[in-house]
Amino acid sequence: MDEKQQEKREARRKRRVRNQIISYSVLGILVLALVAGIILGVRVFTENRNRQQEEIQSSQAVIDNMLGSEEEIQTPEPTPEVVELTPEQKLDGIVEEGISVMPLEDKVAGLFIVTPEAITGVSTAVKAGEGTQKALTQYAVGGIVYSGNNIQSEEQIKEMLDNTQLYTKYPIFLAVNEEGGSAAQVAEAGIGTKVDSAKTIGENGGETAAYQAGQTIGATLKNLGFNLNFAPVADLANVENSIMAERSFGSDAKSVGTMAGAVVMGLKEQGIASCLKHFPGLGGTADDPHKGLATIGRTEEQFRSEEFVAFQAGIDAGADMVMISTASAPEITGDNEPCVFSQKLVTDILRKEMGFDGVIITDALNMSAISEYYGSEEAAIMAIRAGCDMILMPEDFEAAYNGVLQAVRDGQISEERINDALKRIYRIKYADKYGEQITE
C-alpha cells in the first residue's frame, strides 16, 4: 500500500516537473519570440523612419529647387544696361585718366605757356636739342610760344617743333601769334601765304574774307606743326588812337564778332586751336600795357552792350581760349588792378554770365603793366585765384612756377582748382583723340 502510494507520489512529482519544464520552455519560447518581435519591430521602425526622412529630404530638395527656379523666374538678375557714352563723355574720360597719373609738380607746370628761352636759358632758341629735352623733363610746361626770332625757315621750324613734341611727357601746346597783316610771326619769316590784316578785312572783306584768312593761316600752321594760334582779335577799335587800330576788325560790335567767329571756324577746320583776345576789350584805350600801366575807360554798360557782344560771338563760334588783358578796367572791376587779377571779370562775368567753359589764359605777364608792380610769383598766384587757367610768359618762369607749387602745397590754391584748369586744357589737347574714341 505504502509502495503504491509512494510510486503514485513519484509519478505525480515527475509529471509536475515535466509540466513545469514544458511551461518554462513555452514561456521561454514566448519570451524569445517577443524579444525577436520587438527587435524586428524596432528595426522595421528605424528603417521606415530613415526611409521617410530620406523621402522628406528628397522632397525638400525638390521643393528647394522648385523655389529656387521660381525665384530666378520671378526675380531674374538684372541684365547690365549698355549705356552708350557721348563723344564728350568719352573725351572727358580720356582727360581725367591723363590727369590722374600726373604728379603735382607736372600739374602746376602744365598751367604755363612760356618761350623756349625761358626754360632752356639760351638767348635765342632756333632748335630743340638736348637742352630742350632736359628742360622739358624738369618742367613739363603746358605750352611753348614761338616768336619771329625762333623762326628762320620752314624746314628749321618744322624740325624744332617735331623734336619738341618728342621730348614732352604730355601733349603740349605749340603756339604762335599769327593774326594776319604785320602781326604774323610765320608769314613775316616768309613762310606760307600772307593774309590781310584784321583792319583791311573789316573794311573790305567781311565774314567770308575772315573765314578764308582763318583757313589759310590754319593750314600753314598745321603744316609746320603748330597747334595753337593766339588769334583772332575780338577787340573793338572804338576810341581815338586805339592801341588796336591796325589789329581790330573795326568798331561795330556785331560785325567784329561775326568776323572773329569766322576766323575761329576757319582755324578749327584746319585743326588749330584759337584764342580770342584781349578780354574785356583792349581797343578802348590808347595806352600800351607793354610799356606800363594801361587803363580802359569804358563803363560797364558800354562793355556789356559792345565789347561783350563781339566776344560772345567768338565764344559761340567755338573759340578754345580767351585771353585776359593786363590793362585795367576800373569801371567794371571796381579797382585799378589789371583785369587778369579780377575775379569779377574772369569768373563771374566771363565764366558764369557769358558761359565760357574753355581755357582762360592771361596775356603775357612779362609786360611792364605787370612786371613793374608785381613779382612773378605773386602775379601767377593772383591770376589763378581770379579764375585764369593758364599763365602766359611770366617774367621769371621758375619763380612763378615755384610760387604756384608752394601755394598749392600750403593750401592757398586747392589742387581741385588746378585739376579743374587742367581738365579744360586737356580737353583741347586731346581733341585729336576725340574722333578715335567715336569710332571705337
Those residues with Cβ within 8 angstroms of residue 407's Cβ, 6 or more apart along the chain or in another chain: 381, 413
**363 is an active site residue:** yes
Residues 112/397, Cβ–Cβ less than 8 Å: yes
Q: H-type helices in 126-191, by residue range?
A: 130-138, 154-167, 185-188
**Backbone angles phi and psi of 402, in degrees to 5:** -65, -35
Cell of 371: 612786371
Neighbours of 321 (CB within 10 A): 24
Q: How would DSSP label each residue in 288-332?
A: -TTTS--B----HHHIIIIIHHHHHHHHHTT-SEEEEPSSB-HHH
Q: List the beta strands (DSSP E) in 289-404.
A: 321-324, 359-362, 391-392
Q: Which of 106, 196, 290, 316 is catalytic?
A: 290
Gap between the Cα atoms of 111 and 124, Å rounded: 23
Task: Collapse the DSSP code of 128 into the 3-class scheme (helix H, G, I; strand E, B; otherwise coil) and give the result.
Answer: coil
Look-up of cell digits 575761329: 264
Residue 18 Cα distances to 24, 177, 202, angstroms: 10, 141, 150
Residue 418 Cα distances to 97, 285, 412, angstroms: 15, 33, 12
Gap between the Cα atoms of 409 and 108, Å rounded: 11
Of 280, 256, 374, 289, residue with least CA distance to 330 = 280
Q: Which of 235, 287, 363, 389 is catalytic?
A: 363
Catalytic residues: 290, 363
